[in-house]
Structure 1
Amino acid sequence: MKIIVILVVASFCRGKQHVCNVYFDKQHDGMFADCKGRQLRHFANDLPYNITALDISENKLESLINGTFNNFPNLTYVNLNANLLTNLESGVFKGLYNLTTLLLAKNKLKHAFPKGIFSDLGNLQTLNLEQNEMRSYPDWAFPPLTKLHSLYMDSVPVPVFGPGFSSLANLRVLQMDSTFLYGGDCSINKLTNQTFQSLKGIELEVLILNYCYGLNDCEKGVLEPLMFLKHLEMSSNRIGLQNSLQLLHPLVGRNMSRIWFNRTVSPHSHYKQDIDDRILTAKSTEYLTKICVEELSLRHNQIILVESGSINKQPLRDCIEVLDMSKNNIVGDGSIFLMFPIFQRLRYLDISYQRQEYALPESQLLSRPNNVTINFPHNFTYFDATLIAYAHFSSPVITLLNTNNLETFRIGYNNLNGLNHIRGLENVKNVYLSGSEFGTVTDSFFYSFLNARKLSLGNCNLQFVKRSGNSSSNILNGLRAVEYLDLSSNNLRYFPVLPNAGKIVHVNLSHNSIDTVSIGENTYKSLALLDMSFNLIGQLSKETRSQLDIASIRTSLKLKVEGNIFSCGCENLDFILWLMDTSAIYESDRDFPCIQDNGTMTGTIEVAKNQLNIHRHCTGKLLLSLTVTCMIVVLTSIFIAYVISKNPTRYRNIVIRMFGFGVEYVTPKQFEFTFYVGYCGNDVPFVYRILRPGLELCFRPVRLFLKDREVLPGKDIAEGIIEGVNGSWKTILVISPDFLKDSWTHFTITSAVYAMSDVIPKRIIVLLVGDVLVKDLPDCLLNMVEEDCILRVKDYMEEEGEEEGTLCGLLRNVAGL
């Protein structure tokens, strides 16, 4: 019996459980009921009576009846957005005297506003009615909302705010672009002089009318009733820039905080009208320049010309603080932008992305001064001139004045080259110079950004990495405060020594030619993201992997490696498994491309799935190799022992010669060729015009092995090199910058070194051609060649006839001929 009672009580408790989360919320100073997205078809009536905020948005409510909120008198916030509401009874909001925010966006309330529906909402301050399929505004419902501050209205084709809206004495913000919270389309086609007439006595300060792409007709007096307007946004429409500027006539002489006319392009049918609409003249801006506006944005308007005197007039000139003219097509010499220092209060200027549509004559492109000086206003904090130049802009030094308050400086992708110093950026936090052609830079260049926290130098053709060894120079030491560093797309070959090791957070080295990652366990203590994508990383050593794992635990470091093609052969199987399991890799999808030992492509996930089979295959090959090797060693030992037992005296003499007793040196007569000449294709003229005549066509000729002459067509090149080196008494290596870059360089040098022996002294002779230095020679060659066998060609190129002083005569002396 007790068990039955317990089950009944438990069932009753489950039945009374709330479908909403209820908790205390500081923002609403009380209990908050979160019923968002619960698929509710009916209002949740079992909520606590003392809730002060209710979010029942994104459900399936279709109607609300009278008395719905009778049990919740303390509500100050109600969110009913994104439901299926089509009907609201007149008493649905009865008793909500404390309500300050009511959100009804994205429903279907086009005819659901009976008279008196808002009668108890005298304290309502924010009302959202966007996206409700309205065709007109129910002005009869609004008179009770005397304290309404912000109104977000649904857009209608030809909006008119009727007499009922004249009671909204405290209305300060009006938005009709359907973008609040959920976004949406604006259906307004036309604004008339009657649209805001009923708001004439109201101190409306903010009017937001963006993204009305169908709006192409606007009467000139539409803003006249809004006598207290301070903030105007009318972007993304088809009114046209010139027509938009004419709407400002009623605002002349006022102080305004913002005017936005972005992407307001009229579809003109005539070419001349289209051109006229894209030119700012003193006439078209006559009303704008008479308004004291703090923020002006005319971005994305296809403006092609800004005439002198069009925007630099008072009071605009003395009031403007933020000016955005980006993403236009402004052409000319750019002199209009050099006038911005006269705007003394200007602190933000964006003139970026002036995409040119026409091919300009050279005379109209930006000039090319030797040095540039830019004078900023005293309060300047932000400057963006990315992608505005259309010609190569060469300047060794750029000097910026009045940069004490400057925080962001962006001049990337302006064909800027030859720059070695920028003065005035020492205290600027964000610097963007990507897309320039700096080439070789010195450490003084990086001291230009002494306190930069974010520095972008991607795609700048930077050349500052050492070409010998695997370490980069410390040229970046001047970046003592950098936290974000972008060195992507610079064709870097080695991992650089990063600056500010203890504080750097984000490093972008993607799209380079780096084949490894070099970070110490305790070096980069704050590094959180290292982008090594699209490099030449084939695998990472165990030490590097261990360092990355430790850094991942210590600083949550993530390494981006997409775009690299890994090696997944037998020796790298542990690396592939690490790649799948480590927390140090940024990508969630770990299926990277990799190359198997047989040259076929596969994916890392496939390798990880078949790891056991691959391990057996690799181990089997190793054991087979060891077994075969051991058998060969045993059989060879037996054979050698047998041969020695048959000829003990002969092999005793061989051993004696091995220890230097009775060594006989070989002579040139014992070889088919006297010299093997190693060279690359670009050095053929030197070999055939100087070496060959001086050695083969003289009165004491010797025979040369020249690969272009001696190696028959179709024969393997490697085999020809080996035969030439072994069949020649000595080897002459013609080493030039091109030879060091040649694909056969390593093989040729290695073959010559392997052919050296004690019975042929000084078997390798090196000729340095061009700008090659001794330190540029490979270590394996320097360790084997005697110093007097390394000759610099230009030191011995004298007049013909003095054979003992010529290069070929010296070669004979060195070779002992």
Structure 2
Amino acid sequence: EPHTHRRVMARSLRPLHLLLVLLLCVLGCSHAGPGKAVCRVVRLTADCSHLSLEEVPADLPANITALDVSHNRLRKLPPVVLGRYPQLQLLQAGYNSIQALEADLCRMLPLLRKLRVQHNVIHLLKEANLVHCSGLTELNLASNRLKLLGDPFLPLKSLVSLDVSANGLSSARLGTQPQMGGLRELSLSGNKMSTLQKDDFSCLCNSSVQVLRLGSLPLKNLEPGCLKPLEGLRELVLDGTKLGPNLTDQLCQELKGSAIDRLSLRDVHLTSVLHTTFMGLADTNITAVDLSRNEMSSMANGSLRWLRTLKLLSMEENNFRQLTREMFVGLDSLRSLVLRNALAKSRSWYAVIEDYAFSPLRCLESLFLDRTTFRGLTAQTFSGLVSLQYLNLSWSKFDLKIVTNESFASLSNSPLRTLNLTETGITRLADGAFASLGNLSTLLLGYNFISQNLSGSEFRGLSRIQKIHLSFNNQKIRLTSWSFQHVPTLRTLMLRRALTGTLDLKPSPFQPLQELSVLDLSNNNIANINSDLLSGLHNLRVLYLQHNNLARIWKSANPGGPLLFLRGLENLTVLELDYNGFDEIPAAGLQGLRKLQELSLGGNMLDFLREGIFSDMVSLRSLNLQKNLITSVQKSVFQPALANLSVLHMERNPFDCTCDSILWFAEWLNGTDASVPQRDSYVCNTPSAYFNKTISQFEPLSCRDTTPFQALYVFTSTTVLIVMATALVFHFQGWRIQFYWSVLVSRTLGFREVDRGEERFQYDAYVIHAQKDRRWVERHLLSLEDKQLRFCLEDRDFVPGRTRLECIVDMMRQSRKIVFVVTETLLNDPWCTQYKAHHAIQQVIEESRDSVVLVFLEDVPDHRLVRALLLRRGMLRSRCLLNWPPQRERRPAFQQSLWVALGSSNRIQ
């Protein structure tokens, strides 16, 4: 049992052992990593961040002026190493584990101006640490654990910005004597200060601090005069410091008579504003106050009247239930009011904006009411805003389903230039809906639910309009030929994912828009247009037509031919035609676009591009042809487009990586200065040798010096083809050629070759055959006797009364040729093989005659001939070796060959 227990324990500890080994490997790799890490040096700036460094690199260029070693594992900043870079002006060493600033650091870096060591573990800081840092202008010590000893910042006479936030400091006192005379910005946020004492900033009495950040402090008390030393203070930030109404009132009293210009009180628990809350600011020239995120639900009437110089007031993300006219009384100089998400929300009731609520704001130019829910608009909601130029109601809910001519009648006396009604639930625009807004230049109606035929009367009265945004209206808007007849000044028209129906209208809906420069018709599934859709838009600069269904209009098979709908757009600079299903571009489809700088045809089905389609694009800077079916990038097609290109996107195409298809493009990619993102996505599809490899792996040298071999290739290919053709002809029709050649020779020279002494022969041939082959002889040989040939046959020509042996010998001597009809039966006949054949061969030898002719009715091996007839095929001339053809059409040729063989000379050559 103990042994069993040990085995179980060992098995259970194996995963732990593996984990430990893996951890050691990781630590080892991490430790070894910094030695292999490489810093990036660009324009005298060395970036060594995020490299897990444990020491400052000592091998960087000596003339660098900026060094970033943040986000590493440094424990110190050794002056000896950093002294190798004497021209250093910026040192970033944040997010490390640095424990102290060594005294010689600034002495070794006499030109250092900015030192950032935030998020470290620096603890004790005394004057000796910074004694040589008089030239510093910025010091960031945020998020350390500082403990200040004496006057550590006394030597920093040139310091402009100091950040000691989030250090656990319990007091704002940074020294005991005046110092940092040039300080402009001080951050003390995120510390543990509960009280601002009267003399906390006394050491800065000679400085000109303009920005003071005291955010996220646990302040409980402000001693009178605590901010008095900061006479030049212009911006005070207390975001996240829980002041409450009382401490806010006290703070404003401390700022009384100061030079304060901007005050940020975001998230300070200022749930309500009393009459006296901002009284202390009455004697200031404050211009901006931020009261956002305070869950403010009420504001006493007239409580803002003390802020008469205020120009910007932000109260976003609060909980006001009602906006009254008295709320904004006294804000005579206010230019911008931000009430984004400032009204309370409830399922049972809506916040109310009273009539004339904004009437005191006669200088207001910008009003932000976006992401707000309120009861609705009335005829007097915005009355009194006689200077309003920008109104933002986007993403708000206020029951505006149908926009009528009364919806914004309260703005009839306002010089409104921009109206943002994005995502406000609009379903319909009534006739003359914006007639009271004659100065409007920008109308944003995107992300609504408008569903209607635009007759044109909806925009009546917009005599100065320049931009209309109707995008993302669920594709329920139908255009007519008169939709924009009342807005001839329009320059930008956005209709992305907004239209339904056809654009094959005459006249075109866009014909009145002679000043149009930007047109967005993308994502509308447009399929039917005509060639005059964009006619007359000579000022058009940007055209978006991506994500439609325009493939048919550029097809050669389109009835009437391809539609050249881009003709006349000579000033076009941006054209996007992505995802339209294009599989071809007509030769004149992109002609005349000499000023085009950006062309996008991605996501289509283009596989072949005609020469000359890019010939007019002399200004092209960006070309997008990604996700098509392009296999070949020919110089004759693409050179005009790529000549001046800055950005190219052609990834994700099935490239054919052969010399003819891709050589020029591969060389262009290797030598271009243009930006070509995602080069790893330029992948070869064919041939198999380069399948799934990038174009950068294509070897151009394989295409070099191929010209001398082209002629050889053509010659050898032609020769092989001729030889093959000749072989095939001779194989299937050789007998016919031989037949005609034999006939020609015979007719020209005669059938017989004249030999002296041949007049003694009575027969042309003595025929030796088996008895079984007699019928063949009578049928196919005797028929030749009609053509002046005479054969000697045993059964017919032997003399009666004489012995058979005597007749055989005598008849052979009287015959010019001896013909063997060779079959297996003949070879097995002992009479033929043992006597006739022997006697025939003996006679040939004795008389030195070449007179044997073999006619093969069957395929007989050569060794059988030797054994039976004592003959080999090689002993006879080829004309004397005949094969009986089974095909009927070849038999005349056989007879001609037999005639030639029987007529040939018997003389041995």
Aligned-pair CA distance for 1:322: 0.7
- Among 567, 573, 578, the alignment partner of 1:483 is 573
Aligned-pair CA distance for 1:255: 4.5
Matched ranges for 1:282-297 at <5 A: 284-292=354-362, 293-297=364-368
- Among 213, 216, 219, the alignment partner of 2:298 is 219
- Among 391, 396, 416, the alignment partner of 1:323 is 391
Match of 1:532 in 2: 625
Aligned-pair CA distance for 1:429: 4.2
1 CA distance for matches of 2:408 and 2:158? 58
| Secondary structure of 1:393 counterpart | strand
- Among 210, 213, 231, the alignment partner of 2:312 is 231
Instruction: Tell me, yes or no, if the aligned pair for 1:328 and 1:353 is still in contact at 8 Å.
Output: yes
Instruction: Tell me, yes or no, if the aligned pair for 2:649 and 2:677 is still in contact at 8 Å.
Output: no
The number of residue pairs the alignment matches comes to 592
Gaps in structure 2 of 5+ consecutive residues: 1-78, 92-110, 429-448, 704-709, 742-909
Match of 2:288 in 1: 206
1 CA distance for matches of 2:194 and 2:87? 33
* Residue 175 in structure 1 maps to residue 267 in structure 2: no
Residues 749-802 of structure 1: CA distance to partner in whole angstroms, max 9, x if unpaired?
xxxxxxxxxxxxxxxxxxxxxxxxxxxxxxxxxxxxxxxxxxxxxxxxxxxxxx
**Amino acid aligned to 2:232:** K
- Among 536, 544, 548, the alignment partner of 1:456 is 544
**Amino acid aligned to 1:233:** S
Matched ranges for 1:659-738 at <5 A: none
Residues 59-85 of structure 1: CA distance to partner in whole angstroms, max 9, x if unpaired?
85835555444344455x315277757
* Residue 249 in structure 1 maps to residue 327 in structure 2: yes
1 CA distance for matches of 2:612 and 2:169? 62
Instruction: Tell me, yes or no, if the aligned pair for 1:562 and 1:592 is still in contact at 8 Å.
Output: yes
Residues 98-125 of structure 1: CA distance to partner in whole angstroms, max 9, x if unpaired?
5462042765464595543333356646
Aligned-pair CA distance for 1:321: 0.4
Match of 1:397 in 2: 482
1 CA distance for matches of 2:564 and 2:620? 18
1 CA distance for matches of 2:325 and 2:501? 44
Matched ranges for 1:348-427 at <5 A: 348-354=418-424, 366-372=451-457, 374-375=459-460, 380=465, 382-388=467-473, 391-399=476-484, 401=486, 408-415=492-499, 417-419=501-503, 420-422=508-510, 425-427=513-515
Which is worse superposed, 337-346 or 407-416?
Answer: 337-346
Matched ranges for 1:391-790 at <5 A: 391-399=476-484, 401=486, 408-415=492-499, 417-419=501-503, 420-422=508-510, 425-436=513-524, 439-442=527-530, 444-447=532-535, 449-462=537-550, 465-468=553-556, 474-495=564-585, 497-498=589-590, 501-515=593-607, 523-544=616-637, 546-547=639-640, 549-552=642-645, 557-562=646-651, 564-567=653-656, 574=663, 577=666, 581=670, 583=672, 586=675, 588-592=677-681, 594=683, 596-597=685-686, 603-605=692-694, 634-648=723-737
Residues 496-525 of structure 1: CA distance to partner in whole angstroms, max 9, x if unpaired?
744774433323333333346677787434
- Among 347, 367, 373, the alignment partner of 2:417 is 347
Give the 3 Å change call, closer, same or farther, for CA 265–105 of structure 1 in structure 2. farther
Instruction: Tell me, yes or no, if the aligned pair for 1:593 and 1:601 is still in contact at 8 Å.
Output: no
Instruction: Tell me, yes or no, if the aligned pair for 1:511 and 1:535 is still in contact at 8 Å.
Output: yes
Instruction: Tell me, yes or no, if the aligned pair for 1:342 and 1:377 is still in contact at 8 Å.
Output: no
Instruction: Tell me, yes or no, if the aligned pair for 1:539 and 1:566 is still in contact at 8 Å.
Output: yes
1 CA distance for matches of 2:630 and 2:465? 43
2 CA distance for matches of 1:353 and 1:530? 34
| Secondary structure of 2:263 counterpart | strand
Instruction: Tell me, yes or no, if the aligned pair for 1:435 and 1:457 is still in contact at 8 Å.
Output: yes
Match of 1:739 in 2: none
Residues 162-184 of structure 1: CA distance to partner in whole angstroms, max 9, x if unpaired?
2453335222212244xxxxxxx
**Amino acid aligned to 1:129:** R
Instruction: Tell me, yes or no, if the aligned pair for 1:538 and 1:567 is still in contact at 8 Å.
Output: yes
Give the 3 Å change call, closer, same or farther, for CA 389–100 of structure 1 in structure 2. farther
**Amino acid aligned to 1:221:** A
Instruction: Tell me, yes or no, if the aligned pair for 2:379 and 2:407 is still in contact at 8 Å.
Output: no
2 CA distance for matches of 1:368 and 1:109? 64
Aligned-pair CA distance for 1:345: 0.9
Instruction: Tell me, yes or no, if the aligned pair for 1:421 and 1:444 is still in contact at 8 Å.
Output: no
Aligned-residue sequence identity (percent) comes to 13
2 CA distance for matches of 1:338 and 1:169? 45
Instruction: Tell me, yes or no, if the aligned pair for 1:221 and 1:250 is still in contact at 8 Å.
Output: no
| Secondary structure of 2:337 counterpart | strand
**Amino acid aligned to 2:571:** A
1 CA distance for matches of 2:335 and 2:392? 14
Match of 2:229 in 1: 144
2 CA distance for matches of 1:233 and 1:59? 29
Aligned-pair CA distance for 1:295: 0.8
Residues 289-317 of structure 1: CA distance to partner in whole angstroms, max 9, x if unpaired?
553221112223367x7434153x4312x
Instruction: Tell me, yes or no, if the aligned pair for 2:168 and 2:191 is still in contact at 8 Å.
Output: yes
Match of 1:118 in 2: 201
**Amino acid aligned to 1:300:** R
2 CA distance for matches of 1:651 and 1:253? 121
Aligned-pair CA distance for 1:320: 1.5
Which is worse superposed, 516-525 or 102-111?
Answer: 516-525
1 CA distance for matches of 2:214 and 2:536? 51
Residues 714-773 of structure 1: CA distance to partner in whole angstroms, max 9, x if unpaired?
xxxxxxxxxxxxxxxxxxxxxxxxxxxxxxxxxxxxxxxxxxxxxxxxxxxxxxxxxxxx
| Secondary structure of 1:485 counterpart | strand
2 CA distance for matches of 1:392 and 1:347? 25
TM value normalised by structure 2: 0.54
Instruction: Tell me, yes or no, if the aligned pair for 1:220 and 1:247 is still in contact at 8 Å.
Output: no
Residues 360-408 of structure 1: CA distance to partner in whole angstroms, max 9, x if unpaired?
xxxx96442544452455665554343357733332223365765x654
Instruction: Tell me, yes or no, if the aligned pair for 1:480 and 1:500 is still in contact at 8 Å.
Output: yes
Aligned-pair CA distance for 1:232: 1.7
Instruction: Tell me, yes or no, if the aligned pair for 2:648 and 2:677 is still in contact at 8 Å.
Output: no
Aligned-pair CA distance for 1:37: 5.7
Q: Which has the larger radius of gyration?
A: 2
Give the 3 Å change call, closer, same or farther, for CA 310–592 of structure 1 in structure 2. farther
**Amino acid aligned to 2:357:** Y
* Cα RMSD after superposing both structures: 5.1
* Residue 299 in structure 1 maps to residue 370 in structure 2: yes
Instruction: Tell me, yes or no, if the aligned pair for 2:475 and 2:497 is still in contact at 8 Å.
Output: no
TM value normalised by structure 1: 0.59
| Secondary structure of 2:161 counterpart | strand
* Residue 263 in structure 1 maps to residue 341 in structure 2: yes
Instruction: Tell me, yes or no, if the aligned pair for 1:521 and 1:551 is still in contact at 8 Å.
Output: no
| Secondary structure of 1:475 counterpart | coil
1 CA distance for matches of 2:718 and 2:195? 92
**Amino acid aligned to 2:401:** G
2 CA distance for matches of 1:650 and 1:153? 117
2 CA distance for matches of 1:504 and 1:139? 67
1 CA distance for matches of 2:716 and 2:142? 72
**Amino acid aligned to 1:323:** L
2 CA distance for matches of 1:251 and 1:500? 60
Instruction: Tell me, yes or no, if the aligned pair for 2:210 and 2:232 is still in contact at 8 Å.
Output: no
